[in-house]
Amino acid sequence: MGERLVKARIRERYDDLGGRLYDLRYGEEQRVKYREALSLVRLDPWMVALDNGCGTGLLVEELDAYVVGLDLSQALLREARARTASRERVHLAIGDSESLPIRSGVLDATFSFTVLPNLPHPERTLMESRRASSPGAPHIVSTHRKTMTLEEITALIERSCLKVTRVIDTEKSNDWIVLAE
């Protein structure tokens, strides 16, 4: 199946699900992951963070920084826009995680929750995050345990020229949550 078709199907799946149903189905699970992940990084209000695959903006709500939220789904972005309408330091955009519309070296942190298994080339997503980030920036990546083993996610991250520095393995989440730099 071609790359464009894979991405079109992902977009259609999340557009069909819609923002309200997404939050009902995944909201609490996502918030648990966010709490765990945010314990690993420190973001100052002047920093710039990327929420790659931002969905309905649940993580964006939690970040006290300048935030770029990127997603393929127009329906999920509509919900994210409504959720973050009062936030001045938030920019939401429809876009492709494998080809970030962001200049090199400008991000202070990246977050990518349960995005990689949906993509035809997950390594590209990580390489793009690294390219768009400043040296030493933290990258938080999560993936469902049922879609990737810890060895697979670690190898994928390291092939992308990032170094795994910490893994959260907790019963509170169904995901591996990995901090890389």
Report the C-alpha dihedral over residues 33, 38, 41, 43, rounded to 10 degrees.
140
Q: Are 80 and 56 in contact (CB under 8 A)?
A: yes
Class of the 3-180 domain? alpha beta
List the chain domain ranges: 3-180
Query: Residue 117's pLDDT is what?
Result: 86
As given in the structure block, the two tokens for residue 91 are: 């920019």
Query: Residue 2's pLDDT is what?
Result: 79
Q: Are 51 and 67 in contact (CB under 8 A)?
A: yes
Query: Residue 179's pLDDT is what?
Result: 97
Hey, what amino acid is at 83? R
Along the 181 residues of the chain, how does pLDDT read in single tens digits?
A: 677 777 777 667 766 666 676 677 777 888 888 999 999 999 999 999 999 999 999 999 999 999 999 999 888 899 999 999 999 999 999 999 999 999 999 999 999 998 998 888 999 999 999 999 999 999 999 999 999 999 999 999 999 999 999 999 878 788 999 999 9
Query: Residue 17's pLDDT is what?
Result: 65
Q: What's the chain look like in SS3?
A: CCHHHHHHHHHHHHHHHCHHHHHHHHHHHHHHHHHHHHCCCCCCCCCEEEEECCCCCHHHHHCCCEEEEEECCHHHHHHHHHHCCCCCCEEEEECCCCCCCCCCCCECEEEEECCHHHCCCHHHHHHHHHHHECCCCCEEEEEECCCCCHHHHHHHHHHCCCCEEEEECCCCCCEEEEEEC
Query: Residue 18's pLDDT is what?
Result: 67
- pTM of the complete model: 0.89
- Token pair 């990127």: residue: 70
- Give the up-direction half-sphere exposure of residue 49: CA atoms within 13 A in the CB hemisphere: 29
As given in the structure block, the two tokens for residue 92 are: 């939401």
Contact partners, residue 63, CB within 8 Å, separation at least 6: 43, 49, 51
